[in-house]
């Protein structure tokens, strides 16, 4: 007889690990299936740090979810003893009419979020590592900072296991189908049944959600670590904020303080400057010309950062046509399947609250969280 569960979660990266935690915390019998090992580096939930912020330039509709995510960071830290979030403060820099600045200000104003607007002179005074152009400004948010993706995934897996979830690694789903009043899930090792299925496929969304009616673009992205000239002390979290910096041409870079010791350097990356790929075809090699392009760009705004190149790593963005998420009951299988995908390079900060939402949807069919923006039906006619 097939082992039976209340809920099967496919994918145990950021969103899937959080879903497994929240579902098992509510007493559900949970099976989690993961293609790779725990907290792996083959998808999108790795690289040591992700920016978190509340003055959200993408859309003010995200802010209530961010407020809840911050509460859940604290809950996870208390429950596991793991360091999840470091609130170093953050600056969103660029021309005043840039998306990064104007959109952040719109969210901060609409939701009455604490923030300051800084001109170029004040940016340089407050943060001597930064050297903006005279016509650039910044929105400073004290509650911005970073979250640690591997630590957060490991914490959610730890909690899910503690709460009785069965987590199977190196056991990918091969297919699933409706079965009686639920679903049947097949792997190379076994067949399982459950009342509900939660699919968190990351960059594998185009393969696993062919019937969703949504076009996804998978992009190769590169993260870089440089040892600053003169060492990391000016780049520690008490001195150097997280930042998203948009230039006059609309190119965005983002970066972090140094968080892992005197020889760890500081991390920086371009935002949405990658080639289309698949999980099978992504080029994991980072080339000299890519490192030079990153260093040249940063030398114009943070002159001491590209001192010595240390390392680089690749990850994947799963991008929808409008760059918003998909979090919903599956339109073709609304009674038994919930999906979370298309997090488009800005989703990791939402991991704990998305896990809570997925538990709501799988167990009750609805959630009190505002997720109307993430309905996949908005993208049904979107071109690939």
Q: Which residues are annotated as a binding site?
A: 6-36
Of 114, 118, 95, 126, nearest to 53 by C-alpha is 114
Question: Which regions of 55-154 does DSSP assign to beta strands (E)?
Answer: 85-86, 90-94, 116-118, 137-141, 145-147
Q: Report the SS3 class of residue 220.
A: strand
Per the annotation, where are the binding residues for FAD?
6-36
Residue with tokens 């690939």: 384
Q: Report the SS3 class of residue 363.
A: helix
Residue with tokens 């009419």: 97
* Residues in Cβ contact with 246 at an 8 Å cutoff, skipping those fewer than 6 apart: 93, 94, 95, 98, 99, 100, 101, 252
> φ and ψ at 322, to 5 degrees?
-105, 5
* Residues 342 and 205: beta-carbon distance below 8 Å: yes
CB atoms < 10 A from the CB of 41, how many? 16
**Cα Dmax for the chain:** 70
């Amino acid at each position: 007889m097939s082992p039976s569960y209340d809920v099967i979660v496919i994918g145990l990266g950021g969103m899937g690990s959080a879903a497994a935690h929240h579902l098992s915390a509510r007493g559900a019998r949970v099976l989690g299936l993961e293609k790779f090992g725990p907290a792996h580096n083959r998808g999108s939930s790795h690289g040591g740090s992700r920016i978190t912020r509340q003055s959200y330039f993408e859309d003010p509709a995200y802010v209530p979810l961010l407020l809840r995510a911050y509460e859940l960071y604290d809950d996870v830290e208390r429950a596991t003893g793991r360091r999840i979030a470091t609130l170093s403060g953050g600056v969103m820099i660029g021309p005043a009419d840039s998306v990064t600045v104007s959109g952040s200000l719109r969210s901060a104003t609409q939701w009455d979020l604490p923030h300051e607007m800084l001109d170029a002179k004040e940016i340089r005074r407050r943060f001597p590592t930064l050297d903006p152009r005279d016509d650039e400004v910044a929105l400073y948010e004290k509650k911005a900072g970073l979250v640690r993706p591997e630590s957060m995934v490991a914490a959610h897996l730890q909690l899910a296991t503690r709460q009785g979830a069965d987590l199977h690694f190196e056991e990918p789903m091969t297919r699933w189908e409706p079965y009686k009043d639920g679903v049947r899930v097949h792997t190379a090792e076994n067949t399982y049944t459950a009342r509900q299925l939660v699919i968190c496929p990351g960059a594998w969304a185009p393969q696993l959600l062919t019937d969703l009616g949504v076009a996804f673009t998978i992009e190769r992205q590169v993260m870089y670590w440089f040892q600053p000239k003169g060492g990391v002390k000016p780049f520690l979290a008490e001195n150097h904020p997280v930042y998203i910096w948009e230039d006059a041409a609309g190119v965005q870079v983002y970066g972090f303080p140094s968080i892992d010791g005197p020889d760890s350097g500081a991390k920086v990356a371009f935002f949405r400057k990658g080639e289309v790929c698949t999980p099978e075809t992504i080029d994991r090699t980072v080339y000299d010309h890519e490192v030079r392009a990153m260093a040249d760009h940063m030398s114009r705004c943070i002159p001491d950062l590209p001192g010595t190149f240390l390392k680089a790593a690749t990850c994947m963005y799963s991008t929808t046509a409008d760059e918003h998420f998909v979090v919903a009951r599956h339109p073709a299988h609304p009674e038994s399947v919930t999906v979370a995908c298309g997090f488009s390079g800005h989703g990791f900060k939402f991991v704990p609250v998305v896990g809570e939402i997925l538990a709501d949807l799988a167990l009750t069919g609805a959630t009190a969280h505002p997720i109307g923006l993430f309905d996949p039906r908005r993208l049904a006619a979107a071109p690939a």
